[in-house]
Chain A
């Protein structure tokens, strides 16, 4: 089975712009979670989607949003980018019968200048 895929892998944006990142889960997985990884704050949970519904949300400002489509693919959007949003954004998917297992993709490296 193919793993979790994330596109794009690298992205450079300017302050004030917005960005959309995409995640395709492992085939058959219906739960998708997003995490932000920075050197200073480490790995922090953003949100989790299951069957197109947001089930859980981390402590991030409203500029961070996400959605999930009927094919379980997910996108996250960051509006009005700030320098501090520069990070590795990781997506993880979980199988329906073992939702406690989270399998991560390679991440999208976002640089905000």
Chain B
């Protein structure tokens, strides 16, 4: 069945790079996504990658996709305290999004 897994917590120092990892099961997923959720807010679409791509870069964000291992990662360069939030990985499946449980990123000054 469809499943997306992420580690639950990540703590980094301000200025360091953060890498959030995700594994998914649906090999037919066309798009894979990263969303950010701050406390009391909805989901903010950060970036997404088409399944025939290996990498996508967007300013401080780099997405890497290993389709063979069904592994997706999000790298945030020069992490700031404002990046503290929960990050969700999601795969598209049959017109809907299947989300992971979210990774809580804590950025320490």
A residues with CB within 8 A of B = 4, 33, 35, 42-43, 45, 48, 55-56, 58, 90, 92, 100-107
Docked CA distance A103–B48 (Å): 12
Docked CA distance A4–B30 (Å): 24
- Residues from 71 to 109 in B contacting A, C-beta threshold 8 Å: 88, 90, 92, 94-102
By a CB distance below 8 angstroms, the chain B residues around A48 are: 95-96
Which range holds the interface residue count of chain B? 20 to 34
Answer whether A90 and B43 are a contact pair too, CB < 8 Å, given A42-B101, A42-B102, A43-B99.
yes
How far, in Å, is A90 (CB) from chain B's closest CB? Answer: 6
Cβ B96 vs Cβ A33 within 8 A: yes
Selected contact of A58 from candidates B30, B35, B92, B96, CB within 8 Å: B96
Selected contact of A107 from candidates B42, B44, B98, B99, CB within 8 Å: B42
Selected contact of A104 from candidates B30, B43, B95, CB within 8 Å: B43
By a CB distance below 8 angstroms, the chain A residues around B55 are: none
Selected contact of A100 from candidates B30, B88, B100, B101, CB within 8 Å: B30
Cβ A105 vs Cβ B95 within 8 A: no
Cβ A100 vs Cβ B96 within 8 A: no
Closest to B93 in A: A45
6 example contacts (A-B, Cβ-Cβ < 8 A) are as follows A42-B101, A43-B88, A58-B96, A100-B92, A102-B45, A104-B43
Closest to B50 in A: A100
Closest to B98 in A: A45
Docked CA distance A33–B45 (Å): 15
Docked CA distance A33–B42 (Å): 14
Docked CA distance A97–B99 (Å): 23
Docked CA distance A42–B5 (Å): 12
Answer whether A55 and B95 are a contact pair too, CB < 8 Å, given A42-B101, A42-B102.
yes
By a CB distance below 8 angstroms, the chain B residues around A106 are: 41-42
